[in-house]
Amino acid sequence: MKVIEHLEKAKNTLISFEIIPPKRGGNIRQLLNVLEDITKYHPPFIDITSHAAEVVYEETAGGMQMKIKRKRPGTLGICALIQNKYNIEAVPHVLCSGFTREETEDFLIELHYLGIENVLAIRGDESEYKKPVKFGRSVNEYAVDLIKQIDSINKGKYLEEGLLDAQPMNFCIGTSGYPEKHFEAPNLHTDVRYTKAKVDSGASYIVTQMFYNNKAFFDYVDLCRKEGIKAPIIPGLKIITSKAHVKTLPKNFYIDIPTELADEIEKAKPEHVLDIGVNWTAKQVEELMNRKVPAIHFYTMTNSKPIKMLMEKLKL
């Protein structure tokens, strides 16, 4: 079942989660424990992040050596697990950065074989490693280009023209939105126009970057609607769990932490920060549900404890 169908049929606000594959060579047990925890809340879909190759420096007998690796492979296998063991729709992230259009097409074909029909199409984070593009291959520079490629495959149009018996696919495409604007956009209005281009190119719904001020989200939705975007807009939330988040989240995701929240965390003992984060997110969730948002997407990653505390507090 497609994400957009879940959103259209739901009578109340849905809850979804986002997880991240284990590091290369890591133990999947932690991820399985996270899945056991979050599936108890009956999410209709779970997102799984994807990761391109990047530079890794390893110490060898001859000194530090640079290697190119994918730190977190496994997205495809985890999708299959979620879809078939838990009977929950898996939503793999499909990236521009680090993948050619040919690799993307192969990935989509593999997803199709597994019966996975939902994807989140995003540009992806830039890294210091720039993958060389071999002759005869091509790349999607922006998310809108990636969405156009997926939409073409949905219509049976592949990169290789003239394929015999080429079958159309039927992916539901999600995309990203930025209530506090993408850091490369000159202003929020321009960024919303970019988002509209993604929707017009085939995206069915939008999941936002994390935020800690609901007003920013509501203003963003209003701006999207004025721009003619009719697609459902799902707010993305992440629970602050450590003092370090007050610095790292704004730095890495270009978001604002409200003064009230930042001050409270700064004054608190480290062991109390998780409670502060859960309480703040609980207030956000209550207001968002009262405004009848279509769903709330939690950036769970590898830690389900904050989610369990939040759900217990909200009695969900």
Distance CA 40, CA 178 (A): 29
| Two structure tokens written together for 223 | 């701006």
Contact 218, 226 (CB under 8 A): no
Look up the domain containing 110 and give its range: 3-314
- 296 forms bridges with which residues in the sheet? 15
If one counts the domains in the chain, the total is: 1
Q: Report pLDDT digits (tens) over 19-35.
A: 999 988 888 999 999 99
Tokens matching residue 189: 């209005």
Residues 123-136 pLDDT 10s: 987 655 566 667 67
Q: What percent of the chain has pLDDT over 70?
A: 91
Q: What is the rounded CA–CA span in Å between residue 109 and residue 196? A: 27
235 vs 296: CA distance, rounded Å: 5
List, as own/partner pairs, every contact residues 242-250 make where C-beta atoms lie below 8 angstroms and the sequence separation is at least 24, other chains included. Answer: 242/270, 242/273, 242/274, 243/268, 243/270, 243/273, 245/277, 249/210
**What DSSP state is assigned to residue 120?**
E
pLDDT tens readout for residues 246-258: 999 999 999 999 9
CA 84, CA 76: separation in Å to the nearest integer? Answer: 12
Taking the model in full, what pTM does it have?
0.92
CB 94 within 8 A of CB 76: no
pLDDT band at 65 (very low <50, low <70, confident <90, very high): low
CATH number at residue 182: 3.20.20.220
- Encode pLDDT of 276-313 as tens digits: 999 999 999 999 999 999 999 999 989 999 999 999 99
Pair of tokens at residue 57: 């420096």
Closest among 271, 235, 270 to 255, alpha carbons compared: 235
Per-residue confidence (pLDDT) for residue 134, from 0 to 100: 72
Q: How far apart are alpha carbons 28 and 17 in whole angstroms?
A: 18
